[in-house]
Structure 1
Amino acid sequence: MKRKNKILLSVVCTVLGFAVVCSFAVYFLFFHRYRGKEIVSLWSETDSFSISGITTIEKQKDKPFVILNLADVQICDLEDLFSMNEIKKEIADLVEQTHPDLITLTGDQTWSNENLISLKSLISWLDSFEIPYAPVFGNHDCGNEKDSAVLSRNACCDLYEKGAYSLFQRGPSNLGSLGNYIVNITEEGKIIKTLYFLDSGYEEQISNEQIAWMKWNAEGIRTANGGMYTEGMCFFHKPIPEYAQAYYGYRNEDPSVEAIGDVWVTFSLSGSRQNGFFETAKSIGVTDIVCGHQHGNCFTLKYESVRLTFALKTGDRVSFYSDETVTLDGGTCLILDGGETRVETVFYDKKEK
């Protein structure tokens, strides 16, 4: 009898111990909040500019430079804890098809409040390709409300900055958001393209401070580049009002129309008020703007000398399509070749894989 009691007690203790361990694991994975490092780095228009502070990627002469953009991957710990293989397979397929020199991510890499495992897994997977990558934040990366997720923006910055092939920088802390940084593409040592990575933030508006910071950098790069603005590209999550103006101008449709044809085209725009971002971007030589956010939109239109591109959504998470409707899934390539930039859409059909 005593032996049976000992066995029963041992089983009970084992079960309780396992339950305690699982409880701690669940707490730290899904409920504990990681706030990250609060780093104060103030920028001022009176600061001295140094070109050495900007990351540079060298383009091979006479070879196209390929940028692969991934938009709105939106993985989530609770939904994808044991099922990330599909999105990993898709990203690997897109990389194999396009052979990119740089991978950009225009926000919402994760979504919901459970983002710890998802982001760590995504960063590890991106590093495995040994290709530089440059992410920006979307409106869901750190929770559906400001910093409501397990990982706050600061904590996400910590992880991105540790990525072996990540070009991410948290940037100045007084621009109204984090993750504003610049990458220059050079050929034979000369800057041929400046890439501005901006956080459209929880306010979903490129701030006046970001605009001033971008212009300040452009002026510094111009001076370092022989007095000429370099052609620029902007990457951020939520589209600006000019996207709607360009689209409805192209379609000659009533702006109140939200659904056209068999593809859902709608606009949730970054800042309904005009704050001069688009005009500033044009004035400093920006030729391309790339956004995500709208999972059902995929187009590129030239508007007032600037090509506005809605990046194709990557992955089937938070998709608004069924088998009976158009499926938009894949990546968007921006190819720098012979002094020109062209945009190509790379579709992914997992049924054929």
Structure 2
Amino acid sequence: MELIREKNGNLRILQLTDLHIGQLPFDNDDIRTFDHIKKVSNEYNPDLIVITGDLIWSEGIEKPGKSFEELIKVLNSLQKPITVTYGNHDTEENITRSDLRELEKKLDYKVNKKHSYIVEERESYCIELRDESQELLNVLYVIDSGAVDPLRIGTYEYVHPKQVNWFYDVSNFYKQEKSKKTEDLLFLHIPLPEYKDAWKNGQVYGYKYEEVSSPVLNTGLFTSLLLDKQVKGVFCGHDHDNDFDAIYHGIKLCFGRVSGFNCYGELSRGARIIELQSNESFKTYLI
């Protein structure tokens, strides 16, 4: 489905992350996660739901695809536009990202992906926000940040250089269409290396109860964002005990709030709201 944003109206995004739905039959923690998803969606009535990875457990799970299908049934019951990307735990065993993307087709309110690009099983794509006259107002970039570092230099995977090139090409394409600068957003699972610098040197709000689990290798996506001058907010998941946001060189780097009960973390389960506003700025807060 296509998303329409009123030219002089706000658009509300609900970011869920790290749901970690487990094995069938579901335990009480999984049921609590489902109830939490329904509660925050009903209470905050988002125009779009973005889930930034680790939707399910797969390691040690016999049929993770079945768990994912049950999660999809819950998401369909919300009757809200939705889009997803994947994390390091979604495809550890017995399922691939291609399998998950095939199951995504069962989402009743899935938002149309633009400029889809897949490298090494990881999909990058855009969501366009247009008004009733089809004028482009905002672009949401979604990048699959991978899982485990294949080079074993760090623990977690880096944004692939080909994904950085993809962003450079696609963002330049959109610049040709836009009539003015707007505040675009980017979503992924694993935090960029700059999150560490942002905590130390940025204008910070929120909590950091664990080390930022970003990749050791830096492939330059943040630099590309600075050069682009359109993306003003980055939203990740992954670290269950971090929920801070920090303005760093004019870009707001944000953690979501862990939303699943079947995983580690001392922070209370919640979500993040992002509101694109009529004055072309955005605000964000935790719930």
Alignment TM-score, normalising by the size of structure 1: 0.71
Match of 1:334 in 2: 274
102-111 vs 80-89, which deviates more? Answer: 80-89
Query: For 1:83 and 1:264, how far apart are their aligned partners in 2?
Result: 22
Match of 1:137 in 2: 86
Query: For 1:263 and 1:299, how far apart are their aligned partners in 2?
Result: 6
With over 3 angstroms needed to count, the CA separation of the structure-2 counterparts of 1:251 and 1:343, relative to structure 1, is closer
Q: Residue type matched to 1:137 in 2? A: Y
132-141 vs 271-280, which deviates more? Answer: 271-280
In the TM superposition, structure 1's runs of 4+ consecutive aligned residues that sit over 4 Å from their partners are none
- Cα deviation for residue 95 of structure 1 reads 0.6
Q: Residue type matched to 1:216 in 2? A: D
SS at match of 2:100: helix
Q: Deviations over 1:224-269 (max 9, x none)?
A: 224x5543211000001110101022499xxxxxxxx996131110
SS at match of 2:38: helix
- Cα deviation for residue 319 of structure 1 reads 2.2
Query: For 2:139 and 2:169, how far apart are their aligned partners in 1?
Result: 13
- Cα deviation for residue 83 of structure 1 reads 6.2
Match of 1:76 in 2: 22
Of 140, 143, 146, the match for 1:198: 143
- Cα deviation for residue 118 of structure 1 reads 1.6
Query: Is 2:70 aligned against 1:121?
Result: yes
Residues 133-172 of structure 1: pairs in structure 2 closer than 5 A: 133-143=82-92, 148-149=93-94, 151-167=95-111, 171-172=116-117
Q: Deviations over 1:27-51 (max 9, x none)?
A: xxxxxxxxxxxxxxxxxxxxxxxxx
Match of 2:195 in 1: 243
Match of 2:152 in 1: none
- Cα deviation for residue 344 of structure 1 reads 1.2
With over 3 angstroms needed to count, the CA separation of the structure-2 counterparts of 1:176 and 1:116, relative to structure 1, is closer
Contact 1:81 1:117 in 2 (8 A): no
Contact 1:218 1:229 in 2 (8 A): no
Contact 1:161 1:167 in 2 (8 A): no
Larger radius of gyration: 1
Query: For 1:246 and 1:79, how far apart are their aligned partners in 2?
Result: 41
- Cα deviation for residue 117 of structure 1 reads 2.1
With over 3 angstroms needed to count, the CA separation of the structure-2 counterparts of 1:136 and 1:98, relative to structure 1, is same
Query: For 1:262 and 1:197, how far apart are their aligned partners in 2?
Result: 24
Residues 7-156 of structure 1: pairs in structure 2 closer than 5 A: 56-78=2-24, 80=26, 84-113=30-59, 114=61, 115-143=64-92, 148-149=93-94, 151-156=95-100
Match of 1:32 in 2: none
Contact 1:221 1:229 in 2 (8 A): no
Query: For 1:238 and 1:192, how far apart are their aligned partners in 2?
Result: 27
Query: Is 2:218 aligned against 1:274?
Result: yes
Contact 2:164 2:219 in 1 (8 A): no
Of 173, 183, 197, the match for 1:220: 173
Match of 2:284 in 1: 343
Query: For 2:103 and 2:265, how far apart are their aligned partners in 1?
Result: 30
SS at match of 1:248: helix
Query: For 2:81 and 2:38, how far apart are their aligned partners in 1?
Result: 14
With over 3 angstroms needed to count, the CA separation of the structure-2 counterparts of 1:61 and 1:286, relative to structure 1, is closer
SS at match of 1:80: coil
* Identical residues among aligned pairs (%): 25
Q: Residue type matched to 1:141 in 2? A: D
Query: For 1:167 and 1:79, how far apart are their aligned partners in 2?
Result: 29
With over 3 angstroms needed to count, the CA separation of the structure-2 counterparts of 1:214 and 1:250, relative to structure 1, is closer
- Higher strand proportion (structure 1 or 2): 2
Q: Deviations over 1:79-135 (max 9, x none)?
A: 726764321211111011211000000000001332222210111111122211110
Q: Deviations over 1:283-315 (max 9, x none)?
A: 221100000000000111110010000100002
Q: Residue type matched to 1:301 in 2? A: A
- Cα deviation for residue 334 of structure 1 reads 0.3
Query: For 1:310 and 1:206, how far apart are their aligned partners in 2?
Result: 17
With over 3 angstroms needed to count, the CA separation of the structure-2 counterparts of 1:312 and 1:140, relative to structure 1, is same
Query: For 1:183 and 1:132, how far apart are their aligned partners in 2?
Result: 11
